[in-house]
Amino acid sequence: MNTSEQRVAVVTGAAGGIGRAIVRRLAADGFTVIASDLREGAAQDLVDEVGGLYQAADVTVEDQVAALVERAVKEFGRIDAIVNNAAQAGALGPITDITAEDWKRTVDIVLNSCFYGVKHAARAMIAGGHGGAILMTTSISGQRAVGGHPYIAAKHGLTGLIRAAANDLAMHKIRVNGVAPGYTLTPMTQQMFGGEEAARQVLASRAPLGMVIEPDDIAAAFGYLASEGARAVTGQNIIVDAGFMEAQSRSISFQRDPDYLAATSK
């Protein structure tokens, strides 16, 4: 394939459950993918499966994130999309017990790494003059207080970064968006709930649609946002949660005193 016809994407956190699904989806959609993760064996196996390149990177180090973008431009002459997907759950428990080191580590991985990805991908896309898609894996934790304190704070910050960068980069035809997964069946959630079958039962029970969200469901949203079909979409955060967030809002509103609705309708 001529390099002028290629579309090139970088995906961080590529060896995780959602990361693997994103890489596979983008590869199926015709992207050449540079997959990055510190878990070399799993990431290399993925690249062997779908094609593309593997490059290790610690996303908390700006120069290493910049090197991923530089690799794309060096090898293929361009970068069309980046998915800043790497993350960790971070410290749990009362905020009075969380150390400064744990807080900084989580913010570095979840939020600062995305700033580096936005910054360096945008520079390359502006230089290339063909626009592009800068994407982030956010979370329902960026909408509600779900999870640990550092993670919630970082994911809320990430939604703000999406809006600010989208406004800044629109003149260059660069779109900036996020996908917010709800409770998704990944190795992490399977471990959390005591195995795959137990995790499936718990996740389905929390979803108003009565379904288990699979990594492919999240990847499908990224595939859309990376495509020309989303050429008019920027500054958005697509929530993929099988209705969980709306159900929480509804349950709160329905806890009102029965006389409340009657009083407000007069």
Active site residues: 151
Handedness of CA 249, 254, 259, 264 (dihedral sign): positive
**What are the residues whose beta carbons fall under 8 Å from the beta carbon of 139, sequence distance 6 or more?**
87, 146, 147, 151, 155, 180, 181
The neighbour count for residue 184, using CB atoms within 10 Å, is 23
How far is the C-alpha of 97 from the C-alpha of 177, rounded, in Å?
Answer: 34
Could you tell me which of 57, 10, 46, 2 has the C-alpha nearest to residue 31?
10
What one-character DSSP code corresponds to residue 235? S
Distance of CA 9 to the CA centre of its chain: 14
Residue bearing tokens 């290399």: 44
What distance separates the 2 farthest-apart alpha carbons in the chain? 68
Integer angstrom CA distances of residue 254 from 210, 228, 247: 20, 40, 10
Q: Which residue in 128, 31, 150 sits closest to 70, CA to CA?
A: 128
* Other CB atoms within 10 A of residue 5 CB: 7
